[in-house]
Amino acid sequence: MDKFRKIFTLDNYIVPVAAVIMGLFVGAIVMLVGGYDPILAYSSLFTQVFGDMYDFGEAIREMTPFILTGLAVAFAFRAGLFNIGADGQLLIGMTAATFVGIKFTGLPFYIHAPLAVIAGGLFGGLWAAIVGFLKAKRGINEVITSIMMNWVGFYGANYVVNHFLLVPGTQQSENIAPTASISIHFLTGIFGNARLHWGTLIALVAVVFFYVYLWKTKQGYEVRAVGLNPNAAGYAGINVGRNIIKTMFISGVFAGLAGAFQVLGVFQYQSVFASSPGYGFDGIAVALLGMNNPFGVLLAAILYGTLTYGSAGMSFGADVPPELVKIVIGAIIFFIAAQGIVRWVLGPFYGKRKKEKVL
């Protein structure tokens, strides 16, 4: 229970919360400079998200992939790996889920839907495991390989959709069989047809899994040991290479699931993408914001989803270009990364009490 308490101690969260406030403040200044009304803009942003049930439901839908890609990046980071390839892993997972959803017909929903979800996670995981394998066996830097694998994944996904799943004359695949859908129909009713799906629940389970696996299991102990000091881990008889591959696999499963849910829960089909949807890169920002802690990632994804979804409201209500939200997000990440600035601003509020710790 001690660890649990530590996760929720105020101190850990003061910096991120302050960074968020300062980020919003920077956004407000930019709006003022541009001649917009920041108070109106932010209130329209929040009205957009919390204004009615449909938008609230859609905002939750928007947050789900951020939770999972955030977890993917954070998990790899715990083993000392920088997984920039969540984007490619997501697309490969998505494609696998779409493929199963369209081609495996005649199955009852309680087999078909889970099968499609598992296919998405599995293929995302295997895609990432290739990166882990190259790192473990050949010592190739995972940053380089995972970026390259993003492109391979991107064109690979489009190839599969184009050649096997396309509705002729369009730029998208057929719809998945209804038995593969993971929409929650009774909830979509309540939320005014917002596209809510079971994937959100699985994402929450993934948050808990992340925590339990890393801090409560034998395997998680190994992953953390490898992440903090691979030399000592090797000396202690932990197989460093195997742990790198395993960690990348689990990281990729998170990303792959994010992709699968976008098709099985949200769109019901997969597009031929002109450019990557970018969820994997947003995941890096979310992991950074959540300080690589699973519960932090969850909160960060909620914030990230709120800002992204609410940005549309901002342009309706206050005429502010929705891109301005990117400035806010950028500023927040900047303040998280440059914690010194935040502590400096907070200094007078903290008083002397904290001084030793800051040093």
Partner 1 sequence: MNAATPVVELKQITKRFPGIVANDSISLQLHKGEIHALLGENGAGKSTLMNIVFGLYQPDEGSIEVNGKPVVIDSPNKAIELGIGMVHQHFKLVEPFTVTENIILGMEPKKGFNIDYKSAAEQVTKLSEQYGLQVNPHAKIQDISVGMQQRVEIIKTLYRGADILIFDEPTAVLTPQEIAELMDIMKRLVSEGKSIILITHKLKEIMQISDTVTIIRRGKVIDTVKTSETTPSDLAEKMVGRNVTFKVDKKAPTIGETVLKVSDVVSKNKDGISVLSGLSFEVRAGEILGIAGVDGNGQSELIEAITGLRKIDKGSIMMLGKEISNLPPRKITEQGVSHIPEDRHKHGLILDFTVSENLVLETYYKPPYNKGGFLNAEAINNNAQKLIEQFDVRTPSIETKARSLSGGNQQKAIIAREIDKNPELLIAAQPTRGLDVGAIEFVQKQLIAQRDQGKAVLLISFELDEIMNVSDRIAVIYEGKIVGEVLPEETNDQELGLMMAGSKKRVGDDRG
Positive/negative CA dihedral, 58, 50, 39, 19 = negative
Structure tokens at 258: 């994010």
Q: In 3D, which of 117, 274, 289 has the Cα closest to residue 205?
A: 117
Among residues 87 and 222, whose Cβ is nearest to partner 1? 222
Considering the rule CB under 8 A, would residue 171 count as an interface residue with partner 1? no
Considering the rule CB under 8 A, would residue 217 count as an interface residue with partner 1? yes
CB of 72 to partner 1, least distance (A): 22
Q: Which of 110, 169, 348, 356 binds partner 1 (CB under 8 A)?
A: 356
Considering the rule CB under 8 A, would residue 138 count as an interface residue with partner 1? no
Residue 278 — left, alpha, or beta (φ > 0 → left; ψ -120 to 50 → alpha)?
Answer: left
CB of 232 to partner 1, least distance (A): 5
Among residues 323 and 356, whose Cβ is nearest to partner 1? 356
CB of 219 to partner 1, least distance (A): 7
CB of 185 to partner 1, least distance (A): 37
Choices 96-104, 195-203, 216-224, 271-279; region in contact with partner 1 by CB under 8 A: 216-224
Binding mask 221-260 for partner 1 (x = CB under 8 A): x--xx--xx-xxxxxxxxx---------------------
Residues 18-47 that bind partner 1 (CB under 8 A): none
Among residues 79 and 303, whose Cβ is nearest to partner 1? 79
Q: In 3D, which of 12, 5, 2, 15 has the Cα closest to residue 334?
A: 15
CB of 141 to partner 1, least distance (A): 19
CB of 335 to partner 1, least distance (A): 24
Considering the rule CB under 8 A, would residue 218 count as an interface residue with partner 1? yes
Positive/negative CA dihedral, 100, 102, 105, 109 = positive
Considering the rule CB under 8 A, would residue 291 count as an interface residue with partner 1? no
| 271 beta partners | 172
User: Are 265 and 198 within 8 A, CB to CB?
Assistant: yes
Considering the rule CB under 8 A, would residue 358 count as an interface residue with partner 1? no
* Cβ-based neighbour number of residue 34 at 10 Å: 11
Name residue, tokens 């530590």: 6
CB of 215 to partner 1, least distance (A): 8
Could you list the beta-strand ranges (E) of 236-306: none
Residues 64-93 that bind partner 1 (CB under 8 A): none
Q: What is the full DSSP assignment across 313-358?
A: HHHHHH---TTHHHHHHHHHHHHHHTHHHHHHHHHHHH-GGGHHHH
Among residues 163 and 357, whose Cβ is nearest to partner 1? 357
User: Are 70 and 287 within 8 A, CB to CB?
Assistant: yes
User: Are 346 and 11 within 8 A, CB to CB?
Assistant: no
Residues that bind partner 1 (CB under 8 A): 2, 216-221, 224-225, 228-229, 231-239, 356-357
